[in-house]
Structure 1
């Protein structure tokens, strides 16, 4: 049983020391790093004796600690939680820690990216080792200064003491510590001794965010900067035939018009002028490949579901035999649309390409692969590329794809000037990389009142990577179990969207299990608990989830949600799911107002191991729940002849403030290493809401967005 693949690390791979000319200890570590706030420091750290390095922890003679963060911050809180790990083991006061954002540095860091809710999980041990090793070196230096054994000394809150009661601050011994040998083995704290981990710590950038200080890609400026607004094909499948830029060049303030590929960039001194110039362009487009519409996609996916061109991802037992012998078969098709990412901050990136260097600056989740792609595009050596990361106003997977950075680099290379490409909201929604439309066919066989077989088929637009997650629940819970996938290749660009693969799969499967429990005439919750008992009795389950931990969150959410005991007019739906190494169960409470469902409350039980920063964790959990409700209820992007039919929020509905429910969060107490939180609470909430709607209306919803598909003829009765 693989619950959480063991991470192995070599201390020498992420830890080294160096004596600074100014004094101080320099510690680098080879994973997601950490950060601390810029909240008006009590002293001006720029005046301390620091050298300007990237990707290192530095301790000044004054005992202050600066941590450079090489990993991208997309709102998931790693710029706060990562330094907490180091500060905890370093035993330094949190108020003495300061943070700066590092740039891409492949020599000192690995996995310098943000995705998959894996930051804390991967950084948990090595970052704590970094802090603990630094502390031991400081203790060793103090012991040498006193002429006593290091075992007679203790370090706490940046101060080292010996048995005589003598004290030295970290800054008092930092020069000596920098010259010592790096300890091979250090002891990490027992979780019961944590003083920082597990405490509410405010977002380290919060003051800058609320006061409008420059943090984000859109804030970045440089002397001589030109802003570029890019005209792209208005429909997927179209290519540029010709264009007339006469009117554009007559717009006051337009500096240049540059064609690259099938795109045209308008350059100006500000975004308004660049966008105005783009609107004045006259372009003629022609069909390069098939222009596809939503109706076409629906037909193709249904054709795939009813065909036999699938790849089997997992096959336990004999599903075909189980279905042939069944007394009853329950089968449903679940459908989800394309979704844009709709980050608060539209895509943007800065590039300045010169003969000597390629300087890139902006919000990106994958800095290394983006730098590699730019180097390849411009046929330059990767050593010539420098990439600096800004804070991101949302990512959700969209900023895994550096298309906007490549545009900036190509335009700058052609213009021979520093260029910043800025998407408008319309650009962002119509030239996006979308969550692919997907259809699932789920069937279950029943014999003598027992569940005997389960067959899950996926038909998806462009999904040719991992397809379904075959080792998630209900894998190993049902003797005869099969998972198959197939895809239709489209020219519409698709990619990861918050909680890839599981964001709709959880809704489909957990809606199906709710109906299956009814057909089996068993309690919905008990059905899950019993199936998980089957997993525990399976000698070779080959799964990624823990049946015990799933049972734990199920029992917790039942106990905390007032399950089955609500007042009249309140209807509840249950859902449970595992993804991104985290176990989550949710109960949605809805009421009906004027014939429409209103989600009033969601109770969420979460087992994510040790909670590093409860305040940040709550924000991630509540954000995931609300985002999941909004897109399950309202989100839908359709296409007509390759053209997106929504380009702004007047035609694309996001959840509104007044539609957000109360979210009650309960954590399972644990001493297990932490797991993901940015994504796991989103997938199960769609089914919790759909199952509650069934309780209220007697109608099964199988197609998202639910609010648009509640007509009686569109739901399963």
Structure 2
């Protein structure tokens, strides 16, 4: 595994604004991956608005601290955990910390993105330095007031104390601190001395969430705003030929009907009127390209796997020789369906396009990319576009793409009015960007009781993001190793879905290794541990996971789940996976009730480095596990003649409250920098459950959803 990068900080990177009109200090750090060099601070706190926000600290005369959170909040908790990092090194009193969501600031930031579970990881060092430098400036200002050496002063909970016991609050020295030079080489706290990081901190938005205060895109309202509901082609491969809007315009509240491209927008004074007007539209659609179907996809993916046109992602040793010399060769094929995202909050976005500016507001994971695309669409300069981010009611990758924001901008430009596009649930499910349907074929060779060769082939609709991950486990563990990928191009829109490219691959590989262990007559956990010995001291810089960290994680879950020692009637399944820089191992316990497998508990071990906020971290892991189980067990989505077969939750199965198991989470304790957490809990979940089902029923599962496979075999229904 590559060593972690050490960042160098200096006074040149640090930014501050002094002698502000309101008094107080606005101070921040040039946030490396998150900020651009030479970023300028806003010069007047009194005139701050969303366009000026930056990930900086504002300290007021009364000692209150405001931090501006730059990254989109998608439910992953960064609006709480990122300010915790600054507050820790600042030695702030958390009860006096206020967190404000920043808007897109393309002049200063380069990674205002919610995706890839990278927000905390990319900001850890810089945010710590931000807080520590601000603290030192405040201490230096107090020392000057007292005429003592700054080294004799300490800060705690917003109070500076000298050796004589004299005390000054941050607010009492903030003006003087704003005049001082920025210190270099400030000392960061020892992790053992943390008082905020590692504590159970309540979500900073929790009161507003539970009392229904406006936070989300659907809450955003502006006087005079119109609501837009959009009629889109009912099938992938169709385009608009003609339409009649007579009945739509007759709906009370409908003010305008606008055609844009192959879509029709109904504008109204309320969401209900807009959606009712859309239903009243009469449209004729014609075929524009081939209709895609699930049956065709199954056939074409199998044909690809049987063919020879692949892109090789990694190749170690000689896989052909390994298979030729093997005592036994095992080959299995795994299949996953398309999946929609089904965010609780449907897609929505506000746009007000005028000659002077473009104002965008809404839930978006990629604000900068979205602004760039809107600028191109409207032929405007990016600096004329101001984008505010709201809290998101789920994203899971769907809100990376911003098609709904582009619709809002285009409609507003045509209508010359502020509008808000709102998807219905049917819109959300049928006009989505889906997880691609994928087939994996895995082949392994066994020689003298050892796994000597491993060949993974991936065939995916439109490709699976970066393809099968070639440098994750078991890369480096098996001497002869090869990963090939290929795809079928489809007009069905596909893209990232929670834990992209690993959400299904982990199931395929981890159930395959479980089967290999049975073939070798070895404990399935021991097989993984034995293989990991081959990579623990690797010099291969391409290997992305750590053999030692994965081994420690596996051993922890084995201990906590009481592996192999459960009471009679409890069947266990194991799975472990590395993704988004984090190592996770899971053991699922199931029981049989009237012959049906029921998941009772999932024990999870996680190595994500330092855990910033334990309660938020547990929530992320628990949510990922339940999400992974629910979709692996039940979720099925197909297309017929280009049309999705499911349009709402009456025909699309999600996990239900009574079906959710207890999830017990254990974190590896170490002092390593934090890694991703929003996604890594999901990939191993399906494999753990499938392996537990096999332990209980002797039934191997090769396709998702599991319930469908069990029904085919006569086990369910």
TM bin, normalised by shorter chain, reads over 0.9
1:557 and 2:557 aligned: yes
Give the structure 2 partner of residue 41 of structure 1.
Answer: none
CA distance in 2, matches of 1:436, 1:714: 28
Question: Offset at 1:542?
Answer: 3.2
1:128 aligns to 2:123 (yes or no): no
Q: How do 1:671-690 residues align onto structure 2 when only pairs under 5 Å count? A: 671-690=671-690
C-alpha distance in structure 2 between counterparts of 1:548 and 1:602, whole Å? 23
Change (3 A) 1:85 1:537: closer
Q: CA deviation at 1:521?
A: 1.5
* Contact 2:16 2:178 survives alignment (8 Å): no
Question: What is the CA-CA distance between 1:245 and the residue it aligns to?
Answer: 0.5
The reply to whether residue 382 of structure 1 matches residue 388 of structure 2 is no
- Alpha-carbon deviation of 1:19? 2.8
Summarize the alignment of residues 616-655 of structure 1 with structure 2, pairs less than 5 Å apart.
616-655=616-655
SS across alignment from 1:164: coil
Contact 1:104–1:368 under 8 Å retained in 2: yes
Q: Report the 3-state secondary structure (helix = DSSP H, G, I; strand = E; otherwise coil) of the residue aligned with 2:504.
A: helix
Q: 1:208/1:517 Cα in 2 relative to 1: closer, same or farther (>3 Å)?
A: same
1-side partners of 2:668 and 2:407: how far apart? 46
Map of 1:38 onto structure 2: none
Residue 179 of structure 1: how far off its partner (Å):
1.1
- Asked whether the 8 Å contact 1:4–1:544 carries over to 2, the reply is no
Shift of 1:5: 5.3
Instruction: Say which SS state the counterpart of residue 308 (structure 1) adopts.
Output: coil
User: Structure 1 residue 113 and structure 2 residue 113: aligned?
Assistant: yes
- Residues 377 and 50 of structure 1: is their aligned pair in 2 closer, same or farther, counting only changes over 3 Å? closer
Tell me the equivalent position of 1:603.
Answer: 603
Aligned length: 702
Q: Give the equivalent residue in structure 2 for 1:101.
A: 101
Bigger mean CA deviation after superposition, 678-687 or 149-158: 149-158
- 1:246 equivalenced with 2:246 (yes/no): yes
Report deviation, 1:13: 4.0
**Equivalent in the alignment of 1:290:** 290
Per-residue deviation, 1:120? 0.9
Offset of residue 595 of structure 1: 2.8
Residues 198 and 642 of structure 1: is their aligned pair in 2 closer, same or farther, counting only changes over 3 Å? same
1:451 paired residue number: 451
Alignment of 1:206-605 (within 5 A): 206-463=206-463, 465-540=465-540, 542-605=542-605
Given that 1:608 and 1:675 are in contact with CA atoms closer than 8 Å, whether structure 2 keeps it comes out as yes
What is the CA deviation profile of residues 137-157 of structure 1, one whole-angstrom value per residue up to 9, with x for unaligned ones? 111111112222211211111
Per-residue CA deviation, residues 643-698 of structure 1 (Å, 9 max, x unaligned), is 00111111001100000000111111111111111100100010000000001111
Matching of residue 144 in structure 1 with residue 144 in structure 2? yes
- 8 Å contact kept, 1:602–1:664: yes
User: Could you tell me whether the CA contact under 8 Å between 2:33 and 2:122 is conserved in 1?
Assistant: no
Question: 2:662 maps to what in 1?
Answer: 662
Q: How far apart are the structure 1 equivalents of 2:457 and 2:30?
A: 40
The CA deviation at 1:100 is 1.3
- Of residues 53-62 and 11-20 in structure 1, the stretch that sits farther from structure 2 once superposed is 11-20
Shift of 1:327: 1.6
**Aligned residues: CA RMSD:** 1.7
CA deviation map 1:248-274 (0-9, x unaligned): 011111000000000000000000000
> Does the 8 Å CA contact 1:452/1:478 hold for their aligned counterparts?
yes
Matched position secondary structure for 1:333: strand
Asked if the contact 2:349/2:421 (under 8 Å) is kept, the reply is yes
Q: CA deviation at 1:468?
A: 1.0
SS in 2 for 1:535: coil
- Distance verdict in 2 for CA 1:245–1:336, change over 3 Å: same
> For residues 128 and 537 of structure 1, what CA distance do their matches in structure 2 show?
31
- Cα deviation, 1:233-259, whole Å, max 9, x if unaligned, reads 000111101111111011111000000
Q: 2:201 is paired with a residue of what secondary structure?
A: coil
CA distance in 1, matches of 2:127, 2:635: 39
Gaps of 5+ in 1: 35-47
**TM-score, normalised to structure 1's length?**
0.96
Output the CA distance in 1 between the equivalents of 2:608 and 2:19.
39
Counterpart of 1:37 in structure 2 is none
Residue 711 of structure 1: how far off its partner (Å): 4.1
Give me the whole-angstrom Cα distance separating, in 2, the residues matched to 1:266 and 1:283.
13
Q: Which moved more, 1:310-319 or 1:591-600?
A: 591-600
Contact 1:227 1:271 in 2 (8 A): yes
In 1, Cα distance between equivalents of 2:90 and 2:47: 19
SS at match of 2:522: coil
Mapped contact 2:71–2:113 kept (Cα < 8 A): yes
Q: 1: CA distance between counterparts of 2:48 and 2:273?
A: 41
Q: Give the Å deviation of 1:33.
A: 12
How far apart in 2 are the matches of 1:712 and 1:271?
43
Query: Displacement of 1:14 after TM fit?
Result: 5.7
